[in-house]
Each structure stands twice: as C-alpha cells, then as structure tokens.
Structure 1
C-alpha cells in the first residue's frame, strides 16, 4: 500500500518548531515509502485565519525543503461537503441543535454535584438534547445562535462499538471509547463544521492512510474513529508523536515568536540548522 500522509495546519499564526517536527515526520514517512505528502489548510475559523499566515506556511515549508504533492485542499472551499455530512447524521437522529450559551452550560455544570469531565474538559450536560421539536423550531425562527451536537447515546447505539478499534504505531490496536467526550459539537450556526467532523472527512476523501500528529490530539482519535463508523469512512493508521517544548518545558505555541520559522529565518538560520533543532536531518 502506498503511504499517504498529510500536514494540516490552521493559518492562524506563523509555523513554529513543533509544526516543523510534525511536518517533517509526515514528509519523511511519505517520501521514504514512495508515497504522497499532502498539505491541507484547515481554514474554517473566519475570525482567526488570515491570508498572510497561509502564505507564510507555503513559504516556510518551501524554504525547509518539505515539498508537498498538489493540490492543496482548503476547507473553506468545501463547506457543502460538511453540510451534506451533517444532513446525513440529522436524518438518522444523530445530531441535535443546542441553543445554550457558555454561561448557561457553566451554570448547569456548577449546579450538578457529579458533572463529569472528559478529555476536552467538562462534559456538556445535555440541556437541549430532549427539547421538543416545536421549541426548536420556535428558536430557529427567532434566529438564535446554536451548535449542532452529536447525540452520543444514539451514535454509540448506531455502531458496533465493541468491534471498533484503531491502530496506533508503537501501541498496537486500541479500543474506541468516545463516550467520555459526551455530546460534542460538530458545527455551529456561524461555523458550518468542527475540527472533528472536517478532519475525519478530509482525511478520508484525500486517501490519507497514515496520520502523523501531536500527542495532544491522541484523545480525539476516539471521536474520529466513531465518526468513521457512522459515516462509513476508512480508518487510517495513526502515530501521535511527542510535543516540542521550550527551554522551560512548556509546549510551543504560535505565541512563541522566537520559535517561529519566520523569526529563525530572519535571525539568519539555514534550513538544515532548523531541521536539526527537531532532530531531523
């Protein structure tokens, strides 16, 4: 099987050394196996994504010698794809609109003495899950903001969860366990998809069969495996690598300006020097 990997940054800031590490691992895996290395722009967030950051990503990868196989898929150009997925899930009663504000959710969690915490924080308490249809329509007609949430109970009932696994390199097969996440958000009124829905579909439609990404995203794989089962999508092999940190042990972020590839280039570093910083020759 030809290895197809990808690097899928969000153009919300400049690339840093952590991005280089992830992109380099994916690029090397593809090239050493004679496969393909795909670049994808996860540019759904209209408030934070900017053209100059996207341009900088192309420039940084080119400077580092991490050439990609065209074309570049930009999520903002494929919103109809995600809408179609949501419609399929809605037809099967697997999603529902949630009109709760963050304040209302926090207040409900505070009132509960046993509010569970999942991998992404406090679990949504299901306030709108059983809202009568007439009330939903009334609130739609009033043009209220809403999120579309996955009904986790119905979703698990719709698949054979006990047979759903994913393969993590170095760990073997892992049983899918999405229940701790609760009713996750798959889209919002102003944002037609979530990271979870878009990345799962895009990896499938682009034929990605080897996903290499940071350890911080490992828990999300349980959600992605569930969505693959619900949408009849293939399951790739995964490798979640360790995260690059600064001298104080803190995980690098886009706010760490000194660690951005743009800054390092301006300081006079050469591509091979930057690659060596992440132990990539």
Structure 2
C-alpha cells in the first residue's frame, strides 16, 4: 500500500512539473516580429504599436523601447503580423511620405541679431525726445555721474584711511622684534588687523561701485549732449533779470551753453 501511494505521488509531481515547464517555456517565447512589405519591395521586421486611418506606427525590433516610427498606408503592400494574420492594402496615387521617427519638431529659435539692445533702445528714445526732455535727461544723468564719482572717491579714501589706522595699531602693538608687548596689545593688534581688512574691502567695494556708476551715467549724459549738439540745441540756458533803482534801468540777460 505504501509503494502504491508513493508511485501515485511521484507521477502527480512529475505531471505538475511538466505543466509548469511547458507554461514557463511558452511565457519565455519571444514575440514574433511583424513584417511590413513596402511598395518598393522593402521588408521591415518591426513591432507594430498602432494602426490608424492613415499611418502604421511601429518600433524597431532591435529597439522595442526606442522612438516611435510611422509609415503611410499608401506606401504599404501588406502586413504580416506575428500571429500569422496578413493584411493587404490597395495602391493609392499619392506623393510618397517615407517612414520617419514620430518626433515633434523643435521650435525655430529667433536670431539673436533681431533683439534690441538697451543701448540701441536708449538711442532711439533720445532721437524721438523733445529738446526740453533731452536737457532734463542730461541734467539727471550728469548729476548721477557726479554722485557716483563722489561715492567712489569718498569710499576709497575712507577705506584707505581705515586701513592705515589699522596698520598703525598693529605696528604700535609690537616691539622692534615683531612681538606683542602684552596681552592687551595682542588684542589691540587683532582689532587693528580687522580694521585693515575692512578698510581695504570697503575701499575696493565702494570705490568700484562708485566709479562704475559714474562711468555709466557719464556715458549716457555724453550721448544726450551729442544729440543736443546734433540738433543745434543749447544744453543749458539761463535767463537773468536785473534792475537798477538809481536810474530805473532794467535788463534781461540770457546765458546759453552749447
């Protein structure tokens, strides 16, 4: 009885393994390619993804996860699908549109030469401005240029002065051999060193910002002045009234600067 039960169990396990092996083999069988035959006798072994009214979309067999290609139905003679089905297509007179990757076209970038620079825009505004407007703009940029120059000179001078004071503190805190005289002198020298660093940094920062500001605004003021000269317009004019109570003489003086 035991031998009979063992044989039945062995046979059942054998058939179960056979069924699992067959299922595994079937699941591992790769998909057969679809064959597209074109009207010029070219055959494409592909994996078809979609068939619509006008196009057949597919991916290459060697790159099933790659880009999507398409071919017009008018260029196809027949399709033999991987499952064995065959579909034929009638010939239609149409301009050929050969298969190409279905990739959206990138937008055409505008030429950078067509962009208007701030300098050109400023010049256009000057050419369309009235003389009074030009004089007001000239005065504005001239004042900004002077302010930048003052800022640059003052910032540089203050920074250099602070750095010089810090240098003096460091020098006075050490003896002839370069050693600190006391602990307080060491702390004082550290403060002097920070003053030196801050002074040089301030001189460079404020000096650079101020002089750059002066240069940019001075350049704009010069361009406004040239536009006024081109129009033969005075840059500034001043009316000075005067009255002499002794002889009752009155006058009006006009001062013009080109």
Q: TM-score range by the shorter chain?
A: under 0.3
**Structure in which a larger fraction of residues adopt helix:** 2
TM-score under structure 2 normalisation?
Answer: 0.19
Q: Which has the larger radius of gyration?
A: 2
TM-score under structure 1 normalisation?
Answer: 0.18
Query: RCO higher in 1 or 2 (8 Å CA, sep ≥ 6)?
Result: 1
